Structure 1
């Protein structure tokens, strides 16, 4: 971890709105251009829906194709018995085509953010969108119960 990188206080407040307030479905975080601060780039509102793939696909469409990001997603799904389940998932999105300096910066600063996000149920590190297929993530979430 780079000891000079800070997590902005707003970042933690926005995370609490997702985790405890159920006001947000997802948060995408980025490193500032000088790599000194982790900040909120984008959020998605929490909307109750029976089709959980729609919000998830919206989230995926907001991940830049060739830029690393951190993200948290409030993953809601039905369990095998039809019961409502929920997992808070932390993502390190570090695409293969990203600039090597940025990839290294995101890798080395992941812990600075992750340690402050209490209540995360699972983590996914990914380099390609194919690794984020809804059904695959659903299977991982259901296995981690």
Structure 2
């Protein structure tokens, strides 16, 4: 079942929750964590559809790596309601080097499992993924 350079597998729930977010919009965001003991990527937290971007950023640990999906709703300059699905690789400078290496080597194969990602973002501190950055990348 291992499918990445790091030997980490992707738990089926990861894909299932992503499909729910994409098709049914039952979640605003999903935070994924690598469980080193089980050698797989698992769902750590789901955000309700009414969750704010602040709720999302608050759910990311300050000193540990995570993958996250965020469903960003916005209105274009032409006043059209749109949505973009962001994949965020959260790798804070303060996280363990081993953790950064495992997340980096697992990222591409994990992303391939989630069909429908529209924008990818790599962030090492909160300013690299603040709302202005998200807005700028969404258009």
- Range of TM-score over shorter length: over 0.9
Structure 2 unpaired stretches of 5+? none
User: What corresponds to 1:91 in structure 2?
Assistant: 88
TM-score, normalised to structure 1, is 0.89
Superimposed CA distance per residue, residues 19-70 of structure 1 (whole angstroms, 9 cap, x where no aligned partner): 11110000000000326100000000113xxxxxx71111001100000000
Give, in whole Å, the separation in 1 of the partners of 2:59 and 2:131: 15
TM-score, normalised to structure 2, is 0.93
Of residues 103, 109, 113, the one that matches 2:110 is 113
Matched, 1:64 2:67: no
Superimposed CA distance per residue, residues 81-103 of structure 1 (whole angstroms, 9 cap, x where no aligned partner): 22101100001000000000001
Give, in whole Å, the separation in 1 of the partners of 2:38 and 2:133: 32
SS at match of 1:137: helix
Preserved CA contact (<8 Å) 2:9 2:40: yes
Q: Which moved more, 1:7-16 or 1:30-39?
A: 30-39
User: What corresponds to 2:75 in structure 1?
Assistant: 78
Superimposed CA distance per residue, residues 87-142 of structure 1 (whole angstroms, 9 cap, x where no aligned partner): 00001000000000001000000012100111110100110101111012101111
Moved over 3 A (4+): none
Preserved CA contact (<8 Å) 1:24 1:44: yes
